[in-house]
Structure 1
Amino acid sequence: MKKLSLLLMALFLFLVTGCSMEPPSWAKPDTGGDLKNMKIGLSVSTLNNPFFVSMKEGVVAEAKKHGIETIVVDAQNDSAKQSNDVDDLMQKGVNVLLINPTDSAAISTVVQSANELGIPVITLDRSADSGNVEALVASDNAKGGRMAAEYIEKLLGKGTKVVELEGVAGASATRERGKGFHELADTDLKVVAKQTADFDRTKGLNVMENLLQANPDVQAVFAHNDEMALGAIEAIRSSGKDIPVIGFDGNEDALKSIAEGKLTATVAQQPELIGQLAVQAAYDVLQGKKVEKSIPAPLKLVTKNENE
């Protein structure tokens, strides 16, 4: 019903503008530089993950600096809900959309709807598979995956038997982190099993319990995010084993776990910076300026004894 409403709204705008393809006035970038009345719509994949909470805080704080209002919606890791949420944001008259996709393919339809209405789209952390996106603001996920494989090899040597906990199947971050990891792991390590745990801590625990039973000789774990890594640690500790676990994100719980000697390492992102850079890009787009299609945020490997 919401998609139908959006379609009807687009048709109405098409008719009242004399069959012109011009976007509505609220969707046009303000080239005069006065953005005080502008609104950013931010759709986050889930606010049940500390990483995305930090990213949201970066967006809201940076937008406030520019006097721009932010409307935040939480998709709760549901791609259908996210599509409906973004439809709602467009109907509320946001001037730019910042989207952290739950599923990179599923979000493409609403990205294309925004394109038709002339509303600029910027994606954060994960890309959209199709539709015109002004910029993707993200860490180099493939590089981060390779960093994890390099650290496991450095720690335990070539041929180490590794279990891989994958993220949400449709997310670009899952594909890219896995791709980077396997660039080295497929030649220098031995990936004995891999299974999705949807970037979720509880699922990470449950999946790891099953993988430990099926692969009792596993020597290391690479998880596509810290939440799954922290769940995996609980499963490992309950089994009485001592297996190094490398996560990805660098969230507060992960850094605390590293300091306590539980989590071995994490490929740390800077979620607040990702949010800030996304707003800066949005600010430029709304003023009619060109922005880079890919805006990277630096990564670093964090361990207990050193920041590598």
Structure 2
Amino acid sequence: MNISEIAARVRKASLVTACGAALATGAAVADDHTLTIGMSFQELNNEYFVTMQQALEAAADSLGAEVIITDARHDVAKQVSDVEDMIQRGIDILLLNPADTVGVETAVLAAREAGVTTVAIDAQANGPIDGFVGSKNYDAGYLACDHLAEQLDGTGQVALLDGIPVVPILQRIEGCTAALEEHPGIEIVTKQNGRQDRSHAMVVTENIIQAHPNLDGLFSVNDIGSLGALVAIEASGQDIKLVSVDGHPEAIEAIQRPDSAFIATSAQYPRDMVRVGLGLGLAKYWGANTAPAEIPIDVELIDRDMAVDFSW
């Protein structure tokens, strides 16, 4: 069974549980009240999150629900303000994609006080959330870096590009580090913040290559950062292998090039993630006390052979 089939089953189970809870408590699934769903994104300057937004809007439309979307632009203060504004506009369910796991707690507390059902999506959030749906990010880092070590025949210098202070990013670094440590011939020479940003990651990677002229491999915590790193690697003319996380269309395209330094990415499934998150939010909103607190979504390593048939 592939990840889409697994996610579909989880999604179906969540929605069935939600509907059952609504009927059991005498709640009407369709009444005069229009369900309002708010989703606060850490950013929308990334096709990964745009794909998630589109899937949410389609799912909400099928429910006859209203959707309010906000973009924090990686500013947690703006995200807190955005959530407070959505609460004032009367949202019933908040899907929260945190810009900062700790800093967003103020928004979570405000939502709880207002009686809003809150599900964290993609990244964990501090505070009294009702549920969390996200990728197995430790696995994502492990798979990518285990593949990198294998392609380096278990020896060489590797650098890590991390990102914003949210749990998924930390877990990807932990998974990557664990995989590399299984290969005694691999040396992690540096870890620097690429900010998950193409331009910044390019500059950071240029500096890493200059400081470590014998660099053999690089792991980036997301594909957008890796695409900037790829530019720096190609400009250097050095044989440096690159791995990442996400499954972004540009990354998949780059991986397919025969001469590309980009050799693999651990793919996430943003459409499934937000659909399952909405299902969990509905279950909690309608009173399904037995609905799970957390639903992990599998990841899959996409190398050059698999990239031909992969898309979000």
- Normalising by structure 1, report the TM-score: 0.86
Whether the 8 Å contact between 1:147 and 1:267 is mirrored in structure 2 is yes
Contact 2:145 2:243 in 1 (8 A): no
**How far off is 1:57 after superposition?**
1.3
Distance 1:30 1:152, change over 3 A: farther
> C-alpha distance in 2, partners of 1:114/1:149?
38
Which residue in 2 is equivalent to 1:186?
181
Indicate the RMSD between aligned Cα atoms, in angstroms. Answer: 1.7
1:240 paired with 2:237, answer: yes
Aligned to 1:306: 306
2:288 corresponds in structure 1 to 289
Shift of 1:187: 4.2
- Aligned AA (1:163): A
For structure 2, the 5+ residue unaligned runs are 1-24
Alignment of 1:161-172 (within 5 A): 161-168=157-164, 170-172=165-167
Shift of 1:32: 2.3
Among 127, 135, 152, the residue aligned to 1:156 = 152
| Residues in 2 aligned to 1:214 and 1:204: alpha-carbon distance in whole angstroms | 15
Aligned partner of 1:44 among 41, 46, 71: 41
Per-residue deviation at 1:260? Answer: 2.1
- Residues 82-117 of structure 1: CA distance to partner in whole angstroms, max 9, x if unpaired? 111111011111001001001000001110111122
Contact 1:120/1:134, CA 8 A, preserved across alignment: yes
Secondary structure of the residue that 1:288 maps to in structure 2?
coil
Alpha carbons of structure 1 residues 84 and 247: separation in structure 2 relative to 1, 3 Å: same
Please give the per-residue CA displacement for 1:257-279, whole angstroms capped at 9, x wherever unaligned: 11224221110001111111111
Q: Secondary structure at the match of 2:171?
A: helix
Give 1:228's match in structure 2, choosing from 225, 238, 245: 225
Contact 1:39 1:70 survives alignment (8 Å) = yes
Q: CA deviation at 1:68?
A: 1.2
Match of 2:86 in 1: 89
Q: Distance in 2 between matches of 1:45 and 1:37?
A: 26
Residues 104 and 127 in structure 1, CA contact (< 8 A), matched pair in contact too: yes
Q: Secondary structure at the match of 2:160?
A: strand
CA distance, structure 1, for counterparts of residue 161 and residue 264 of structure 2: 15
Aligned-pair CA distance for 1:120 = 1.1
Is the 2:201–2:225 contact (alpha carbons within 8 Å) kept by the matching residues of 1? yes
* 1:145 partner letter: G
TM-score of the aligned structures, taking structure 2 as reference length: 0.85
Counting aligned pairs with the same residue, the percent is 31
Q: 1:117 aligns with which of 114, 119, 123?
A: 114
Counterpart amino acid of residue 166 in structure 2: A
Are 1:139 and 1:269, in contact at CA under 8 Å, matched by a contact in 2?
Answer: yes
Alpha-carbon distance in structure 2 between the residues aligned to 1:304 and 1:180: 22
**Aligned pairs, number:** 278
Q: Which runs of 5+ in 1 are unaligned?
A: 1-28
Amino acid paired to 2:129:
V
Question: Does structure 1 retain, via aligned residues, the 8 Å contact 2:159–2:217?
Answer: yes
Alignment of 1:1-308 (within 5 A): 31-34=27-30, 37-128=34-125, 130-168=126-164, 170-188=165-183, 189-261=186-258, 262=260, 263-290=262-289, 291-306=291-306
Return the alpha-carbon distance in structure 2 between the equivalents of residues 160 and 148 of structure 1: 16
> Which stretches of structure 1, 4 residues or more, deviate above 6 A after TM superposition?
none
Work out whether residues 32 and 287 of structure 1, in 8 Å CA contact, stay in contact via their aligned partners in 2: no
> Could you tell me how far 1:62 is from its partner in structure 2?
1.3
